[in-house]
């Protein structure tokens, strides 16, 4: 072959490859070793949005988000055939970012080596893969945290969640080697097999069943199963959710078998029991006996007619009948007053709750007559109150109470008046004691009252008499004591209280009022003056001693 023929062949080859380059639908770019773009095909122009003239003034790093130095390194690797495949993010002329995979290989043209790149846009592929991964993670999170079993299967298990493994006692790999119907007892195997095969041929087949299954341990359990057909990997498969209802089935069977026994017990038990909506649906003989009605009268009355309408809880009881009508669930317990046929009132513990009776929501009530206990407690309470009135010792502080104070003051006033002796009366109370009770609670309030009582008792003379007058008010009767001495005593007591640490987050103070007995004083007159003095102490700033 002569030189002319060789040149012609080369020209023909060039024309062929040039035509292939220009017209190929794949994105193609030709660059030199520095990254300078030599040529691009029409697919590249369409994809990136630059004209060919613009491309030929650019380098590959002008539209690649990889840093320039790093891209030059990659270009060198491709030029030296060290690496041929890359994934980049390219920026189009309009600013849009696209993920691309790039296949690069060096080629020789007219004695020069260039890098030939074929580029595929994989943005949608990446997004799709991301969405698939997110969907898989969501599916895994949902199924692995469900409390019910979830299984995907044909004739054998494809997937089962952890809850399903726990219910059946098998691991996933063990279940994958078994036919699904072999999990059931013999009486259900054939039905299960037929249901699965029907579901695998009919995408619209959904059904609920209750089957008895055999756990790996050999224990038999009842499963409530909902199965439906779905498309998975282009074929029909079955998906089913299931729960262990063994306890429920056993309970139902127990109830059925014991129904007659239950009826016998209810009808013969001494405690009144009834089932009702607005009127009685059932009542045992004990209920009839308690209220004094015969059966026909009993069943013709509205249930609330058995309760005393003057009872504070009457309206609450009536509300439960509204809940029955609205098919709401409820459970309540009251101490109530009930009304018998003869009009007499009894006290009762009344427990009621909603139940399903003959397929409808109804009330179930139990009444326990506690009339004797209530009357006995009331009698004891009345006796306690009577005892408190007669007692002269304050229950909390263990010092004399107001009754004792009135008695002792009258006695000492008479003596002072008769013999012309001095007598002073000191009254004090705790400043802002209501704030202490509200802020720290009544237990702390009681502690403060007892602590102040101890503090004052230790500081008084043997001849002084100390009383709790009421609430946070106290009285001190000081015989043979003129006003000047009483002032000194009160000031000393005020300072002791102010300086005492009560172990709470606030300081405590007391205000004092003092008066000295005068000829002809009565309890009422001297108390009036000392109360006025205390009022003055509190009204002029508190934590001080005032006198009249």
Q: Are 304 and 317 in contact (CB under 8 A)?
A: yes
Q: Is 30 helix (H, G, I), strand (E, B) or coil?
A: strand
Residue 211 bridge partners (DSSP)? 223
Nearest to 37 by CA among 137, 136, 117: 117
N residues, the chain? 548
- Active-site residue flag, 267: no
Torsions phi, psi for 197 (to 5 deg):
-65, -35
CB 229 within 8 A of CB 200: yes
Collect all residues with Cβ–Cβ distance below 8 Å to 438 and sequence separation of at least 6.
none
Phi, psi for 433 (deg, rounded to 5): -65, -30
How far is Cα 340 from Cα 393, in angstroms, rounded to an integer? 45
- The SS3 call for residue 35 is coil
Phi, psi of 514 (to 5 degrees): -135, 145
**Residue 118 main-chain phi, psi, to 5 deg:** -110, 125
Q: Which helix (H) or strand (E) holds 172?
A: helix 172-176
Of residues 200, 159, 156, the one with CA closest to residue 182: 156
432: closest CA among 283, 541, 281, 312? 541
Residue for token pair 């139940």? 355
Instruction: Measure the CA–CA gap between 287 and 293, rounded to whole angstroms.
Output: 9
**Closest to 354 in 3D by CA, of 375, 323, 383, 333:** 323
- Up-side HSE of residue 20: CA atoms within 13 Å toward CB? 7
Question: Which position among 288, 352, 451, 472 bears the catalytic label?
Answer: 472
Contacts of 336 (CB under 8 A, 6+ apart): 307, 308, 311, 313, 314, 317, 347, 348, 350
Long-range contacts of 246-251 (CB under 8 A, 24+ apart): 246/221, 246/222, 248/222, 249/210, 249/222
Q: Compute the 3-state secondary structure of the chain and give helix, strand, coil in percent, each to the nearest 5.
A: 45, 30, 25
Per the CB < 8 A criterion, the answer to whether 282 and 365 are in contact is no
Which tokens is 473 given?
């008010």
Q: Which amino acids are annotated catalytic? A: 472
């Amino acid at each position: 072959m002569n030189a002319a023929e060789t040149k012609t062949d080369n020209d023909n080859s060039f024309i062929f490859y040039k035509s292939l380059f220009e017209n190929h639908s794949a994105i193609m770019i030709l660059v030199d070793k520095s990254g300078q773009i030599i040529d691009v095909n029409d697919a590249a122009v369409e994809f990136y949005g630059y004209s060919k003239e613009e491309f030929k003034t650019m380098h590959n790093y002008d539209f690649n988000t990889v840093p320039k130095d790093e891209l030059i390194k990659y270009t060198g690797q491709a030029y030296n055939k060290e690496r041929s495949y890359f994934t980049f993010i390219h920026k189009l002329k309009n600013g849009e970012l696209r993920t691309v995979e790039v296949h690069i290989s060096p080629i020789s043209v007219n004695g020069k080596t260039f890098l030939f790149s074929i580029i595929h846009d994989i943005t949608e592929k990446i997004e799709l893969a991301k969405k698939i991964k997110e969907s898989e993670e969501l599916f895994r999170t949902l199924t692995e945290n469900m409390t019910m079993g979830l299984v995907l299967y044909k004739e054998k298990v494809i997937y089962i969640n952890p809850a399903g493994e726990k219910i059946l006692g098998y691991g996933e790999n063990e279940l994958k080697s078994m036919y699904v119907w072999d999990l059931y007892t013999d009486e259900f195997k054939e039905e299960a097999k037929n249901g699965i095969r029907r579901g695998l041929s009919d995408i619209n087949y959904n059904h609920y069943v209750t089957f008895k299954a055999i756990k790996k341990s050999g224990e038999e359990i009842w499963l409530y199963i909902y199965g439906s057909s779905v498309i998975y990997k282009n074929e029909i498969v079955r998906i089913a959710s299931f729960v262990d209802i063994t306890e429920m089935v056993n309970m139902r069977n127990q109830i059925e078998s014991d129904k007659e026994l239950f009826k016998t017990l209810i009808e013969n038990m001494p405690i009144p029991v009834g089932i009702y909506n607005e009127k009685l649906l059932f009542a045992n003989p004990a209920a009839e006996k308690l209220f004094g009605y015969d059966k026909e009268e009993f069943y013709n009355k509205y249930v609330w007619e058995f309760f005393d309408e003057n009872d504070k809880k009457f309206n609450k009881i009536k509300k439960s009948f509204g809940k029955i009508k609205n098919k709401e669930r409820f459970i309540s317990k009251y101490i109530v007053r009930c009304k018998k046929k003869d009009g007499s009132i009894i006290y009762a513990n009344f427990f009621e709750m909603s139940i399903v009776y003959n397929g409808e929501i109804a009330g179930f009530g139990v009444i326990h007559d506690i009339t004797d206990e209530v009357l006995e407690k009331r009698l004891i309470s009345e006796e306690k109150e009577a005892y408190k009135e007669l007692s002269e010792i304050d229950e909390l502080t263990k010092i004399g109470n107001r009754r004792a104070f009135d008695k002792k003051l009258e006695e000492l006033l008479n003596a002072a008046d008769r013999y012309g002796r001095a007598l002073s009366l000191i009254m004090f109370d705790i400043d802002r004691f209501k704030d202490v009770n509200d802020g720290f609670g009544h237990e702390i309030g009681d502690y403060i009252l007892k602590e102040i009582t101890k503090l004052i008792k230790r500081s008084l003379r043997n001849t002084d008499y100390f009383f709790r007058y009421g609430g946070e008010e106290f009285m001190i009767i000081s015989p043979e004591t003129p006003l000047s001495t009483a002032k000194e005593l009160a000031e000393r007591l005020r300072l002791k209280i102010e300086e005492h640490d009560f172990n709470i987050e606030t300081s405590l103070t007391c205000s004092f009022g003092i008066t000295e007995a005068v000829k002809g004083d009565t309890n009422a007159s001297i108390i009036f003056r000392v109360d006025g003095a205390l009022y003055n102490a509190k009204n002029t700033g508190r934590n001080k001693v005032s006198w009249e």
